[in-house]
Structure 1
């Protein structure tokens, strides 16, 4: 599992960084991101654009008002 805390990354760089990290995963692995808001726009972006994203396996949990942990699984080939 790869964990990426994007809260310190400038907002304009967050999605590209997340996409790069997801692309580097092996099939069957999961990218876990920590964000300061629920990443619904990112979920919809992945659902529409990333063929290997397993939308059914996506999970998000709110830990604190400014801490959301989301899991983006990568589908097998």
Structure 2
């Protein structure tokens, strides 16, 4: 599992950083990101653009008001 805390990354750089980290995963691995808001736009972006994103196994948990932990699993597609 790869964990990436993006809260200190400038917002304009977050999605490219997350995509790069996801691309580096092997099929069957999961990218866990920590964000300061629920990453719904990122989920929809992955769902539309990333064939290997396993949207069915995506999970997000609100840990605190400014801390969301989301799991982006990589499938075989």
TMscore range, shorter length: over 0.9
> Where does residue 54 of structure 2 map in the other structure?
54
Aligned length: 77
The CA RMSD over aligned residues, in Å, is 0.6
> Where does residue 44 of structure 1 map in the other structure?
44
* Equivalence map 1:1-77=2 (5 Å): 1-77=1-77
- Alpha-carbon shift at residue 15 of structure 1 (Å): 0.0
Unaligned runs of 5+ in 1: none
Normalised by the length of structure 2, the TM-score is: 0.99
Structure 2 CA distance, aligned partners of 1:15 and 1:57? 20
- Alpha-carbon shift at residue 76 of structure 1 (Å): 2.1
Name the SS for the 2:12 alignment partner: helix
Structure 2 CA distance, aligned partners of 1:18 and 1:9? 10
- Alpha-carbon shift at residue 57 of structure 1 (Å): 0.4
Structure 2 CA distance, aligned partners of 1:60 and 1:27? 20
Normalised by the length of structure 1, the TM-score is: 0.99
